[in-house]
Structure 1
Amino acid sequence: MSGREGLFVTFEGGEGAGKSTQAQRLRESLEAEGRRVVQLREPGGTALGEELRKLLLNSPSLAVKTELLLFLAARSELVQKVIKPALAGGIYVICDRFMDSTTAYQGYGRRISRELIATLNDAVVDGCRPDLTVLLDLDPDVGLSRAEHGAGGDAIEGHWQQGLTFDSQAGAPGRRVGGRDKAFHRRVREGYLQMAKAEPSRWLVLDATLPADEIAAKVRARVAELRKAP
């Protein structure tokens, strides 16, 4: 737990994987045990973060590096204003997406330099890395079908449906991060799996097609293990 009093858990995955549902279930489970918990989402969680979220959701023609820097700005504010103080105060932090989303979507998906992203992410998270990252792994065809029927509101994945052609370095023509370019989403999935393989102690990879109750139980079990760790 990196010397912190609280525990930091993030949920990652592609469209339709059920991250928000599982984040909420973990929060409810921890609160039922009497734990203090804050549940967050990226981008968002602060006044600036929510404004940047609106900007990202409603700006279909942003340059890819502009988009990257806006996500990072929202993350920096969230880390400094919410996550670090919460963890220092013994509060459990659950976040729907965090630094690994940037590597997966902007690095593997958009093909921005992953070395650049790693450098920027390191500066922004300022040592505040998750104790556990839950990857809800799902075939993009299944996930996109789920999202087609379930995404809406201001969901960062499903809301970006405005047409946008990626530039020559970002892959085949498609749409924003929540769009329907399946090759893009396959790259995102592969990126997630590669990150999990490279750092298995931090990641818990679960089949997102499992029943929600079974997924929630596996997440709770891993969190319980972390609480017992010295």
Structure 2
Amino acid sequence: MTHKTPQFITIEGIDGAGKSTHLARLAERLGAGGRELVQTREPGGTELAERLRELVLGGAAQDGLTEALMVFAGRRDHVRRLIRPALARGAAVLCDRFTDSAFAYQGGGSGVPWTVLQQLEAWACESLQPDLTIWFDLEPEEAARRRAAARAADRFEAEDLGFFVRARAAFERRAGEHAARFVRIDAGQSLGAVAEQLDALLRERGL
């Protein structure tokens, strides 16, 4: 199957899946040949969204819907001020998390109804979807062991196992609904094996 070279790429996975380990490798490949690369993250990416990130990750726990509203407010600003302008001028955009994480964490983890998140997504993103979503998938039990070894600090990383079991199931559901852009990477393999799987994907997509 031939694929169009992706311009907007997102990285997803539950905390502890190791996606951050491979971000530098991805950024290097995407920026090869002098191509402009905008590397960003969510929550965050703009001044407003970074302030909301501090509240979501480091502030007092909120109910799931309040948290979702904060996340999507930041996402709308991020899309309008950074992501769309970058794509419009021909840059590639690499984003550490995007809307799929809201469905996993606020939806699966905290129980916000899927239909509510779909409406928030429509309002905030105005039909913008990634061209490619690389999902680093890992069993929640192994992810918990990795988080413990790394002495995880933010509020989500400290959630209990049940939260991440539900979050992973939500990623699976989201991947089924958006199969054309989702690619699953088995993050339970060794670092070398994950890197090889990632390299093969990038070659296939012309990156």
- CA contact 2:147–2:157 (8 Å) conserved in 1: no
- CA contact 2:139–2:188 (8 Å) conserved in 1: no
**Match for residue 91 of structure 1?**
91
Alpha-carbon shift at residue 6 of structure 1 (Å): 6.8
Alignment of 1:76-115 (within 5 A): 76-115=76-115
Same amino acid, percent of matched pairs: 37
2:127 partner SS? coil
Amino acid at match of 2:60: P
- CA contact 1:6–1:93 (8 Å) conserved in 2: no
**Match for residue 208 of structure 1?**
187
Alpha-carbon shift at residue 54 of structure 1 (Å): 1.1
Alignment of 1:1-230 (within 5 A): 7-150=7-150, 152=152, 158-160=153-155, 177-227=156-206
Decide whether aligned partners of structure 1 residues 150 and 127 sit closer, same or farther in structure 2, where only a CA change above 3 A counts.
same
Whole-angstrom CA distance in 2 between matches of 1:67 and 1:91: 31
Cα distance per residue 1:82-119 (max 9 Å; x no partner): 10011111111111110000011111111111001011
2:179 partner SS? coil
Whole-angstrom CA distance in 2 between matches of 1:151 and 1:42: 21
- CA contact 1:8–1:92 (8 Å) conserved in 2: yes
Whole-angstrom CA distance in 2 between matches of 1:9 and 1:179: 27
Cα distance per residue 1:149-190 (max 9 Å; x no partner): 2255xxxxx411xxxxxxxxxxxxxxxx32232111101111
Amino acid at match of 2:121: N
Amino acid at match of 1:159: D
Give the root-mean-square deviation of aligned CA atoms.
Answer: 2.1
Whole-angstrom CA distance in 1 between matches of 2:150 and 2:38: 25
Whole-angstrom CA distance in 2 between matches of 1:212 and 1:90: 32
With normalisation by structure 1, the TM-score equals 0.81
With normalisation by structure 2, the TM-score equals 0.89
**Match for residue 165 of structure 1?**
none
2:157 partner SS? coil
Alpha-carbon shift at residue 48 of structure 1 (Å): 0.7
Higher relative contact order (CA closer than 8 Å, sequence separation 6+): 2
Deviates more, 1:94-103 or 1:195-204: 195-204
Decide whether aligned partners of structure 1 residues 93 and 217 sit closer, same or farther in structure 2, where only a CA change above 3 A counts.
farther
2:34 partner SS? coil
Q: Moved runs in structure 1, 4+ residues, more than 6 A?
A: none
Whole-angstrom CA distance in 1 between matches of 2:20 and 2:151: 11
- CA contact 1:5–1:87 (8 Å) conserved in 2: no
Amino acid at match of 1:20: S
Bigger helix fraction? 2
Whole-angstrom CA distance in 2 between matches of 1:83 and 1:9: 11
Runs of at least 5 residues in structure 1 that lack an aligned partner in the other structure: 153-157, 161-176
Whole-angstrom CA distance in 2 between matches of 1:32 and 1:212: 22
